Chains A and B, each alone.
Chain A
Amino acid sequence: MAQRYDEHHVHVHESPWSMLGPLVILAVLSIIGGWLAAPSFWGGEDHFTAFLAPVFGASHAEGEAALSEAAAHSLELTLAVVAVVAALIGLLTAFWLYLKQPGKPAEIAKSLKPIYTTLYNKYYVDEAYGAAIVKPLLAISTNVLWKIIDVEAIDGTVNGIAHGATATGDVSRRTQSGNTRSYAVWVVVGALTILIIVFWPAIRALAGGAQ
């Protein structure tokens, strides 16, 4: 279906059939769904309950028995009437406001400004979530979890160990100067250290004997 952009179609236009089709199917199905249980009002079978019976089993049947058949039906009927009436009122109001009196909604919006803006903004639920949860979560994740804990603390430790190894090597490589005389000194120092360690008991015994 070719898209047409002549001036008659610039404003509100009918949806394409790719969207209308599914809507029609859903509408038909919802009518069928609504009338499934209806026969029980005039003594017929409640097809919906019968359909669900294998799922809910005995417990449901007990609950049903506790509520008398008549009371259950009058309650259901009341609810159905209330729902239908509410829907019709909404339908009529919309019809009156937007088709019969197109200027009216703007007037009402003006006179009831605070209520209108609150409703228009869906009671600010999204904004409340945004301020209370989303923003703090993003801020904490970015500034604490990622940049401080992950990059600085954890990865800093990992890289720190690597740097530590390099630094240790940097220091200890200075002992390997290639200078023969300094090596000779190290050999003497090492030999003395070993001698002292080996003869330490004897040295202590001598010192003890002298006292």
Chain B
Amino acid sequence: MMLPSLLTSLILIPAVGALALLVLRGDDHKFIKGLALGVSVFEFGFSLLLLRKMDFSASGYQLEENFHWISAPPINYHLGVDGLSVFLVILTTFLTAISVIASWNSIHERIKEFFVVLLMLEVGIVGVFLSLDLFLFFLFWEVMLIPMAFLIGIWGHGRKIYAAVKFVLYTMGGSILMLVGIVWLYNLTGSFDLPFVQQALQANPGLLGSATPGVVGTAELLLFLAFFVAFAIKVPLFPLHTWLPDAHVEAPTAGSVILAGVLLKMGTYGMMRFCLPLFPAASRKAAPYVAALAIIGIIYGALVALVQPNLKKLVAYSSVSHLGFVVLGIFTFGTIGMQGAIYQMLAHGISTGALFLLVGMLYDRRHTFEISEYGGLATPMPRLSAFFLFAALSSLGLPILNGFVGEYLILLGTYAANWKWAAWAASGVILSACYLLWAYQRVFFGEVTHAHNKELPDTSARERGILLAMAAVTLWMGVGSAYLTRRTATATETIRQQMVRPGDMAPQNAGSVATPVYPVRACETCSNASNSTKSTTTVLQVRSGSTANPVYPVRGCANPSDSACSSHLASISLERSGTR
């Protein structure tokens, strides 16, 4: 079979798998589960191919696929991947495969539909991370909501309908703002193509209402807010987080794993992919407020997690706290802080995913999440207790496990940007040890407090398998972090580079120890490339015959310290204003 190409296949494989499941008869449960497992494992293996095919030293998007889709307005099927999205895609495919195995015996009704929905969810999430067209991105962003709502609403527990409706409405409320932002951006630039829009805005900051460097235009501020609020709801950033505990507690285990593991990262991914590169001035202006909310989220989430009587809710609130770190790292705009943010996204996906798997296994045995219903579980189930401790330690940031790397890098980067932020955020690390270890003590240590807990079976071979996989990744990320940070470095620098606007001061390199190398694009006019790392090679299209003002993004020299180039830029902008 000829595959159209790598990225499209990544979206198509689970979609085809879901379709195949859909047309099959629903009574052979073993076959259905086997097929779902086969598809998700194949998809995971396929996504690992990305690592072989990508050149991690090159900036810009790779393995791009750009097909004409709708001519008016010009919407393209444009996919691409870079060091930021590739690992999120792999995390998605990995956690989906894990979720399929985790759901093996815990789903008892509508089994076929469950796996169809799970695979459709994967289609939506992978699509979000790969889309380079704003419209396509929005499409996948919304597509992903539906299967998730079904997962919670059909296979959830307790107030599942309430939780599902709240999740959908809350997220949609945010995405409507983003849709307005996308349409506005289209009106300004005449394109939905992300690389094109980014370069257009970078070359003509005046498009966003203010051409003066350092002054934030109203349009830019509003656009930033439209995107930011949509992403902040997804993260979720305090005080937009209340859908999360409800959705998590009522969702089935697989839903919680995907929700915490990947869905939340779509928010932080969006901030890095859209907010910072498209609206850098507004991002900088908003940074103190965003950081304040992130820090409140870190401490507040941890304190509320501390007093939860419900184990699953405790893990849910811990996500609010941990994702606060990610947002804080992103809004330091420094290399180390942003690298740490990417790392923390991946680490949180694994460690919190593992915690939700373990909580789900406890639920499978006792059908309750109440901490008071447990106690002394280490005696009947030593293996599960050991895995739980491992996951808890990685979540609270123990060195040599994955949580440490991300939080440490973020704190380091934040310290360089503003030491007071770092001081406040660091208290969240202590609190995370408090709530996790205290919960662990109450659930697993001491005498068995309820007689019926004495006979609980320890992990089955299936459960041990997925827990071992999670633990192995946790340990590997903790000791082999350089493998990941080296591969995300160029993407981070590219985003920092995209934030530079003509006339800006040389970027403040907050939180970088080594002298950074900015990939500088060659100035087209003077071809003065002081540092000729690969230039972005997006072909700039000129839109003709439209009512909106056509925009010709100028490939200016991104090295403002070069006086020869700044003069070129000045003359270009004069020419442009003259012709208008």
Interface residues of A (CB under 8 A from B): 137-138, 140-142, 145-146, 149-150, 154-155, 158, 162
Q: Are B242 and A158 in contact (CB under 8 A)?
A: yes
Q: Is B304 on the interface with A (CB-CB < 8 A)?
A: yes
Cα–Cα distance between A6 and B516 once the two chains are bound (Å): 71
Q: Is B300 on the interface with A (CB-CB < 8 A)?
A: yes
Q: Are A141 and B307 in contact (CB under 8 A)?
A: yes
Partner of A155 from B169, B242, B300 at Cβ < 8 Å: B242
Cα–Cα distance between A155 and B243 once the two chains are bound (Å): 8
**Residues of chain B with a CB closer than 8 A to A140's CB:** 303
Q: Is B46 on the interface with A (CB-CB < 8 A)?
A: no
Cα–Cα distance between A146 and B170 once the two chains are bound (Å): 20
CB-defined A-B contacts under 8 Å, sample of 15: A140-B303, A141-B306, A145-B303, A146-B304, A146-B307, A150-B242, A150-B304, A154-B239, A154-B241, A154-B242, A155-B242, A158-B166, A158-B242, A158-B243, A162-B166
B94-137 CB mask vs A (1 if < 8 Å, else 0) is 00000000000000000000000000000000000000000000
Instruction: Give the distance to chain A from B459, nearest Cβ to Cβ, in Å.
Output: 24
Cα–Cα distance between A123 and B239 once the two chains are bound (Å): 42
Given A154-B239, A154-B242, A158-B242, is A137 in contact with B303 using a C-beta cutoff of 8 Å? yes
**Residues of chain A with a CB closer than 8 A to B166's CB:** 158, 162
Cα–Cα distance between A145 and B239 once the two chains are bound (Å): 12
Q: Are B304 and A158 in contact (CB under 8 A)?
A: no
Q: Which of B149-171 contact A (CB under 8 A)?
A: 166, 169-170
Q: Are B242 and A142 in contact (CB under 8 A)?
A: no
**Residues of chain B with a CB closer than 8 A to A146's CB:** 304, 307-308
Shortest Cβ distance from A139 into B: residue: B307
* Central interface residue in A138, A141, A162, by most chain B CB within 10 Å: A141
Interface residues of B (CB under 8 A from A): 166, 169-170, 239, 241-243, 300, 303-304, 306-308
Cα–Cα distance between A141 and B306 once the two chains are bound (Å): 8
Instruction: Give the distance to chain B from A69, nearest Cβ to Cβ, in Å.
Output: 39
Q: Are A162 and B169 in contact (CB under 8 A)?
A: yes
Q: Are A145 and B242 in contact (CB under 8 A)?
A: no
**Complex A-B, nearest 5 residue pairs according to Cβ-Cβ distance, in ascending order:** A155-B242, A141-B303, A142-B307, A141-B307, A146-B304
**Residues of chain B with a CB closer than 8 A to A155's CB:** 242
**Residues of chain B with a CB closer than 8 A to A149's CB:** 300
Q: Are A145 and B170 in contact (CB under 8 A)?
A: no
**Residues of chain B with a CB closer than 8 A to A154's CB:** 239, 241-242
Shortest Cβ distance from B306 into A: residue: A141
Q: Are B304 and A145 in contact (CB under 8 A)?
A: yes
**Residues of chain B with a CB closer than 8 A to A137's CB:** 303, 306
Shortest Cβ distance from A162 into B: residue: B169
Shortest Cβ distance from B431 into A: residue: A137
Q: Are A158 and B307 in contact (CB under 8 A)?
A: no
Partner of A158 from B170, B300, B303, B308 at Cβ < 8 Å: B170
Cα–Cα distance between A206 and B170 once the two chains are bound (Å): 53
Shortest Cβ distance from B170 into A: residue: A158
Partner of A145 from B169, B241, B300 at Cβ < 8 Å: B300
**Residues of chain A with a CB closer than 8 A to B243's CB:** 158
**Residues of chain A with a CB closer than 8 A to B169's CB:** 162
Cα–Cα distance between A141 and B434 once the two chains are bound (Å): 13
Cα–Cα distance between A141 and B307 once the two chains are bound (Å): 7
Cα–Cα distance between A137 and B166 once the two chains are bound (Å): 30
Cα–Cα distance between A149 and B300 once the two chains are bound (Å): 10
Shortest Cβ distance from B435 into A: residue: A141
Cα–Cα distance between A140 and B307 once the two chains are bound (Å): 10
Q: Are B242 and A141 in contact (CB under 8 A)?
A: no
* Central interface residue in A142, A150, A154, A162, by most chain B CB within 10 Å: A150
Instruction: Give the distance to chain A from B67, nearest Cβ to Cβ, in Å.
Output: 40
**Residues of chain B with a CB closer than 8 A to A141's CB:** 303-304, 306-307
* Central interface residue in B169, B241, B242, B243, by most chain A CB within 10 Å: B242
Cα–Cα distance between A154 and B304 once the two chains are bound (Å): 13
A141-B303, A154-B241, A158-B170 are known; give 17 further A-B pairs, CB within 8 A: A137-B303, A137-B306, A138-B307, A141-B304, A141-B307, A142-B307, A145-B303, A145-B307, A146-B308, A150-B242, A150-B304, A154-B242, A158-B166, A158-B242, A158-B243, A162-B166, A162-B169
* Central interface residue in B166, B303, B308, by most chain A CB within 10 Å: B303
Instruction: Give the distance to chain B from A130, nearest Cβ to Cβ, in Å.
Output: 13
Instruction: Give the distance to chain B from A71, nearest Cβ to Cβ, in Å.
Output: 40
